[in-house]
Amino acid sequence: MSLKVDRAEMAFTFKGGMLPMTVMELASADPERIREQLSGKLSQSPAFFQHTPVVLSVEKLDEPHLALERICAVCRTHKLLPVAVRGGADPVKQSAWALGLGWFPPTDATRARTLEEVPPADAPAPEVDKQPGVASGGRIYRGTVRSGQQVSAPEGDLVVIGAVNAGAEVLAAGSIHVYGALRGRALAGIHGDTGAGIFCRELRAELLSVAGTYKRLEDIDPHLLGSSVQVVLRDAQLGITSLD
């Protein structure tokens, strides 16, 4: 005999989804070094440190589980909320679970899928106008960057001939050019290039970052939303100006 549950009585449902998430890639397991760097970042970008959920990537560390609890405590002190750990062997997984965190396997197997390019469209791509400071060795991506997808140019500029949807993320060592609406997250100068910038035809971004200096949607002048803009660093502050 099967039991039929009235949907009106159901307390919850499970749904698949991919939420935008900041990854904190750790190069050191020393909590004091992390504390010192976070303090500097907090003074530069206080808006970013407002209970932002982060995934701690420990793929570059040896035995990170030994300091995981202290690293989480340092993050929480600076208003970052660790929600999961990525990478590491079984001891890391067990430590993450003991701390009430999720655990993700290393990204080597999945990275190729997330960074896979959409095949070129049949129509010829529009000519890309070069901006001052555009780095060589970059990447051109044709198509819409969908929610939950990440596209990166680790060695130069990234040009997106299309839109970046909400929940998507684009990253570049150099500048980012979006020939459409930018609704997701854009991080330029990810290796510290302060001369990088972000250029888009329609600004609706959830988060903008140049060389680690951040602005969230709520920090952007409402008059600039929907406009063509450039985002560059000026005196260690993120400046957004209209291109219209």
Domain covering 22-106, topology: Alpha-Beta Plaits (3.30.70)
Closest residue by Cα to residue 141 from 47, 37, 128: 128
Same CATH fold assignment for domains 22-106 and 112-121+135-242:
no
pLDDT of residue 26: 93
pLDDT of residue 124: 39
Edge-to-edge strand order for the sheet containing 169-172? 150-153, 169-172, 185-188, 207-210, 213-216
- Cβ atoms of 103 and 90 within 8 Å: the answer is no
Edge-to-edge strand order for the sheet containing 229-234? 139-142, 158-161, 176-182, 197-203, 229-234, 237-242
- Return all residues near 69 (Cβ < 8 A) that are at least 6 apart: 95, 99
3-state secondary structure of 17: coil
Extended strands (E) in 112-175: 139-142, 150-153, 158-161, 169-172
Q: What is the pLDDT along the chain (244 residues), one digit of tens a residue?
A: 445 555 567 887 776 555 556 788 899 999 999 999 988 877 766 666 777 888 999 988 988 889 999 999 999 999 889 999 999 889 999 999 999 999 988 864 334 333 333 334 333 333 334 344 444 568 999 999 998 888 988 889 999 999 999 988 899 989 999 999 999 999 999 888 899 999 999 999 988 999 888 888 888 899 999 999 999 998 888 899 998 7
Q: How far is CA 22 from CA 147, 157, 170, 204, in A?
A: 14, 21, 12, 18
- Cβ atoms of 113 and 132 within 8 Å: the answer is no
CATH class of 112-121+135-242: mainly beta
pLDDT of residue 117: 36
Conformation bin of residue 159: beta by default, left when phi > 0, alpha when psi is -120 to 50: beta
Angle in degrees, 0-180, between the axes of helices 68-77 and 90-98, rounded to the nearest 10: 50
pLDDT of residue 216: 85
Burial label, 112 (beta-carbon count in 10 A; 0-12, 13-18, 19+): exposed
* Strands 197-203 and 176-182, bridge-based pairing: parallel
- Cβ atoms of 119 and 136 within 8 Å: the answer is no
Q: Where are the domains of the chain?
A: 22-106, 112-121+135-242
